[in-house]
Structures are given as structure tokens and as C-alpha cells.
Amino acid sequence: MTQVAAESVVPGTERTNPPAYDVDKVRADFPILSREVHGKPLVFLDSGASAQKPRAVIKAISDVYENEYANIHRGVHYLSVRATELYDEAREKVRAYLNAAKASEIVFTRNTTEAINLVASSFTGQRLKEGDEILLTELEHHANIVPWQLVAERAGAVVKPAPVDGDGIIDLAAFEKLLTPRTRMVAFTHTSNVLGIITPAKEMIKLAHDKGIPVLIDGAQSAVHLNVDVQDLDCDFFTFTGHKLYGPSGIGVLYGKAELLESMPPYQGGGDMIEYVTFEKTTFAKPPERFEAGTPHIAGAIGLGAAIDYVNGLGRDAVAAHEHDLLQYATAQISELPGIKLFGTKGEKASIVSFLHDDVHPHDVGTILDQAGIAVRVGHHCAQPLMDRFGITGTVRASIGLYNTRDEIDKLVESLDHVKEIFG
């Protein structure tokens, strides 16, 4: 049986008197949710991979291209100045969303992956020597493993994972022990994309800081479901991706403490990141421009700003309460199904249910669900080391977004019952 307690509250989302949440009204904001798939109403339970977009985001993007588009930071003409204003406003919206101290601490990237690569290359890579260590955890997405391996290999450094237990909970004592005098960087996910488990980030950051080690938080999943406050967390870097937060793909965010970003060399060279260029020597702009070489995803940043407005408009606490209700509902229903094993049901969680059928391959389960109009992700979820830890090759993952309903969870459970009928 599952361990999700009825009263458990996602950290950072404690609430008093949540505002009424009208999920039907919310659903009406997402045009794609009214379409059918294989002749069935779409049940979209794959928001952990990428979320659907509300009309407000789609409109913000088309409005830019229809009315206010030009390149930014380089024109004296009206449209360039206007597009620059909108881009800067989007940066300010991200700053407020993360409660960063300054807008200059927010760098726009393509996605979480690029944000992590940027830090690995421009911050950690610069400081690594042979025999140094980078500490991750077994929960990580490949995006928070491979960039560190690339820089470690160049320096002769090693990447180590802090272990999790059989429920996917980080072993804090082991984590602390792995913080050695050779550890130059700690990087870990705030919320597992496979299990939905929320890591004790504040505690882990404190443990690392006590030993003078900087910390990057992979917030690709957490920025969507938790009230992230980078000052309260005291992380050195925080990364997330727009497309999981109901915004466009191709836009992501790196938050970095001002003094660290200022100390870092550019990640890529080109236009917009310089102060002065000669063939002999180039001087660089201050952050964040130093890290935004070339024409950025202007409409993407503005679309992300619109997504943040949208989520704030619904109320982050109200969204979290709704999602938490669905998570508990789904976990309870699925745990009742014979022949299905749930993964990661203990501890604080957000929006993800991962499971395996005793006899049916996850891809077959995914295909049968798809025939019923239900979109889930199956496979290793770009977290192969975690699959190895559990001795499996993949799971079926239902990830819940702010537009999902109990009725959709019922459909998922009915279809899982049907899987059993088909495979006997």
C-alpha cells in the first residue's frame, strides 16, 4: 500500500484557505485539451516531459510576432526598444517567480540542459583539478549528469553519486560523508522526474555550504510545482526550463548568485555579450548579457513571462493543492491494482506517479494507454542510473499538470485494468 499521507503538504506550498480552484475553467484555457486522440478525448498525463500551453502564452507569442517584434538590445527604432522592454520585463517576472535578489542574476538559456552545461563549463570546469570530485545523487536526469562528466573528464576529476534508498529517498548521512575536501561542486535535482520525490534541498545546501562547496539545483520539475525561493534555499545556481512551466520550448533559465556570475568567464562568444571588441582583445559585458551570446529566443522569453503570469494568476498554492489532491488520488487508486508496483511513494512528493506492471513491458502499457487517448511517458525517463539502482529498465510514468482531473485519473486506472485483461 502506498504511504502518501492524506495530510502531507508539499514543502514550500503550505497554505491556509486555498482559493477555489475551478479545473474546468482552467482546462478551457488550453486549446489542445479539447482535441481527441484515436477518437478518444485526450488525457494528457505527460506534463513532466513538457506541459501544454494556455491561450495566454500562445497569444503572447503571436502578439510579439504580429505587433512588437524586432531584435533586442541593438536598435534605436521603436520596435527594437519595445521588444527589449518586453524581454527585460520577462526577466523581471522570472526574478520575482524565483525570488532572486536582482534581475541580473537571471540568465536566459535554451533550457535546463544548457543552463547546467553553462555552469559546468564556465564555473566548475574553471576550478577543477585532477582528483577533484563533483557530487550528484542517484536521482539525476541525464542533463544533470553528463555535463559534469564532460568537464570532469577534461580535468581528470571524478563524478560521484550520493545514494538513495529503495524508496528513492536520499541517504543524508551518506551524502554528508561524500562531501570531502576534494569536492568542488554539488548538483542535484529538487524534484525527481521519475519518482516526483522532493529532495531536502535546503538541508543539503547547508551541508555543502558548511564545507564551502557551491551547489547547483536542477529545478526542471520543482519550478513547476513548488514555491521556489532561491534566497531562502541559498543555492548558488538554480536552473529550470520554460516548456514544463506551461511556457514555450527553447527557453530556459539559469539563476546564479551575482558575485558568482560576475566571476565567471563567458560560456559562448558572439554578439550582445561583449563590451568592446578588437582583434587583439575583447572585453565582456556584465551578467546576464555576458552569458546570452547572439540573438536570444525573444518571443520565448516573453512567452515564459506570460506563463509565469498565468500560473501566478491561478495562485501557486491553489495549483499545488489541486495537483497534490490528484497525486494522492492516483497513488491510492493505482496501489489498489493487482500486479502493479509503484515506485517512490514515500516522503514529500510532487505530481508524478511511476509504476511497473508485473508481466507487461512499459512500452506495451504505454501503447495500450495511448489507444485510449491517454498520454504517459514510458522508459528510463533519461535517468538510467536510477533505473540501474532499482534493477529495472524503465517505468510507466503519469505526470500531473494543473489541468488534470480526477475523472482523468479514473480513466487511467480503468485502462490499466484493461491492460491486465488483454495480457491475462
Instruction: Determine, following the binding rule CB under 6 A, whether residue 48 of this chain makes contact with ligand 7TS.
Output: yes
Catalytic residue (one of 382, 386, 400, 409): 382
Q: Report helix, strand or coil for 111.
A: coil
Pairing of strands 374-375, 43-44: parallel
Which of 221, 331, 351, 395 contacts ligand 7TS by CB under 6 A? 221
37 versus 375: smaller Cβ distance to ligand 7TS: 375
Tell the smallest beta-carbon distance from residue 189 to ligand 7TS (Å).
Answer: 5
Which of 241, 395, 404, 415 contacts ligand 7TS by CB under 6 A? 241
| 354-413: contacts with ligand 7TS (CB under 6 A) | 377, 381-382
Q: What are the C-alpha distances in Å from 168 to residues 80, 137, 141, 220, 325?
A: 49, 10, 14, 18, 21
Which of 51, 143, 159, 215 contacts ligand 7TS by CB under 6 A? 143
Distance (Å, whole) CA 286 – CA 344: 43
Q: How many beta carbons lie within 10 A of that of residue 139, not counting itself?
A: 28
Binding mask 244-283 for ligand 7TS (x = CB under 6 A): ----------------------------------------
Query: For the residues of 174-219, what is the DSSP string, one character each?
Result: HHHHT--TTEEEEEEESB-TTT-BBP-HHHHHHHHHHTT--EEEE-
Instruction: Determine, following the binding rule CB under 6 A, whether residue 345 of this chain makes contact with ligand 7TS.
Output: no
Q: Which residue is nearest to ligand 7TS (CB)?
A: 193
DSSP state of 381: T
314 versus 383: smaller Cβ distance to ligand 7TS: 383
Contacts with 173 (C-beta within 8 Å, 6 or more apart), sequence order? none
Closest CA to 268 of 295, 301, 302: 295
Within 211-284, residue ranges assigned H as helices are 222-225, 230-233, 258-263
Alpha carbon distance, N-terminus to C-terminus of the chain: 23
The span of 157-165, 217-225, 309-317, 339-347 binding ligand 7TS (CB under 6 A) equals: 217-225
Closest CA to 316 of 308, 328, 306, 304: 308
Ramachandran region, residue 168 (left: φ > 0; alpha: ψ -120 to 50; beta: rest)? left
155 versus 350: smaller Cβ distance to ligand 7TS: 350
Tell the smallest beta-carbon distance from residue 77 to ligand 7TS (Å).
Answer: 34
41 versus 379: smaller Cβ distance to ligand 7TS: 379
| 57-116: contacts with ligand 7TS (CB under 6 A) | 111-113
155 versus 383: smaller Cβ distance to ligand 7TS: 383
Closest CA to 15 of 261, 322, 297: 322
48 versus 256: smaller Cβ distance to ligand 7TS: 48
Distance (Å, whole) CA 420 – CA 424: 6
186 versus 220: smaller Cβ distance to ligand 7TS: 220
Tell the smallest beta-carbon distance from residue 194 to ligand 7TS (Å).
Answer: 7
- Give how many residues touch ligand 7TS by CB under 6 A: 17
Which of 13, 117, 121, 144 contacts ligand 7TS by CB under 6 A? 144
Instruction: Determine, following the binding rule CB under 6 A, whether residue 52 of this chain makes contact with ligand 7TS.
Output: no
Binding mask 177-216 for ligand 7TS (x = CB under 6 A): ------------x---x-----------------------
Which of 37, 42, 49, 274 contacts ligand 7TS by CB under 6 A? 49
Tell the smallest beta-carbon distance from residue 24 to ligand 7TS (Å).
Answer: 27
E strand intervals along 90-204: 106-109, 133-137, 158-162, 183-189
132 versus 218: smaller Cβ distance to ligand 7TS: 218
User: 235 catalytic, yes or no?
Assistant: no
Distance (Å, whole) CA 255 – CA 105: 6
The separation between CA 17 and the C-alpha centre of its own chain, rounded to angstroms, equals 27
Q: What are the C-alpha distances in Å from 75 to residues 18, 79, 250, 309, 389?
A: 46, 8, 24, 27, 53
Task: Find out whether 141 and 220 touch, Cβ atoms under 8 Å.
Answer: yes
The span of 117-125, 141-149, 160-168, 323-331 binding ligand 7TS (CB under 6 A) equals: 141-149
Contacts with 78 (C-beta within 8 Å, 6 or more apart), sequence order? none
Residues that bind ligand 7TS in the complex, under the rule CB under 6 A: 48-49, 111-113, 141, 143-144, 189, 193, 218, 220-221, 241, 377, 381-382
| Catalytic (active-site) positions | 382
